[in-house]
Amino acid sequence: MPGRPRHVLPPDACDAHCHVFGPYDRFPLRHASSYAAPDAPVARYLTMLDTLGARRGVLVQPAPYGTEPSALLDALRQAPDRLRGVAVADADVTDAQLRALYDGGVRALRFVEARDPAGRLFPGSVGFDRIAALAPRMKQHGLHAQLWAPCDVHARHLPALARLGLTLVIDHMASLVPARGPGDAAFQLLRGLLADGAIWMKLSLCRVGTAPDYADARYLHDAFAAANPDRIVWGSDWPFVRMGDKAPAADALLDLAWDWLGTDALRHKVWVDNPARLYGYTPG
């Protein structure tokens, strides 16, 4: 759990990427997890948001729950004006199910193209190959696509995906590799797509940069902020699954983002205006 940040977020600020798990007696995992499942029920998550000073939050369904949305929808029901969700669904999902997801506060479906050494998707994930088939119905039901993959996989798929006319949100700064430098072809492609308004970018540092100061990823963060300040949002990634003793403190990540964003105008865009548009929040 975080401490209190040094900086006070603006009213209606949003942490746009977190996860809830459990309670496990009500919402058991549906797939074997490749990490120790955390103690992160919705009550603890809301306390975390309160500690950060974030009124709003976006919950992303973790892979061990697969396409079963009960834990996510239950969490969203606890604070419907405050929370939005990103669910997981395969191409066989019905229109009634998509409508129920939207009515329950879900605004996106997540697609993951991360594979194990044998080439298999992580259990519970839905791959990028399902997006084209789902895109027309996602648009019909007010849902966008959230994408997570290694940076070179993004580079292979995004030009075609951008032609679908579906809002695309890229997780975790596209899993770029800071050591490749600003000349990296994947980075150049992603920055260009962001500048053109073809994608949104989540500024979540902890999966990209090197703790504790993440200085190696500063150029990526600043380039995305400059490329299109109207298409970036911030997420802590609490409760930092798969990170173990390397997990950061969410308040430290928030304070770092505050310093890097630099101006109150940009902070307001990233924490308030942009997530309000992307996730359909009404004025508070």
- In a 13 Å sphere around the CA of 231, the CA atoms on its Cβ side amount to 23
Q: Match 């009550």 to its residue by tokens.
A: 43
Active-site annotation holder among 15, 171, 237, 273: 237
Residue 110 backbone phi and psi in degrees, to 5: -100, 135
Identify whether the C-beta of residue 184 lies closer than 8 Å to the C-beta of residue 176.
Answer: yes
DSSP for the chain, written as a single string: -----SSPPPTT-EEEEE-----TTTS--SS--SSPPP---HHHHHHHHHHHT-SEEEEE--GGGTT--HHHHHHHHHSTTTEEEEE---TT--HHHHHHHHHTTEEEEEEE--B-TTSPBPTT---GGGHHHHHHHHHHTT-EEEEE--HHHHHHHHHHHGGGT--EEEGGGGG--GGG-TT-HHHHHHHHHHHTTS-EEEE-GGGTS-TTT-GGGHHHHHHHHHH-TTSEEE---TT-TT-GGG---HHHHHHHHHHHH-SHHHHHIIIIIHHHHHHTPPP-
Q: Match 């200085």 to its residue by tokens.
A: 215
Sheet of strand 168-170, all strands in order from the earlier edge strand to the far edge: 14-18, 56-60, 83-87, 106-112, 144-148, 168-170, 200-203, 232-234
Per the annotation, the verdict on 237 as an active-site residue is yes
Catalogue the active-site residues. Answer: 237
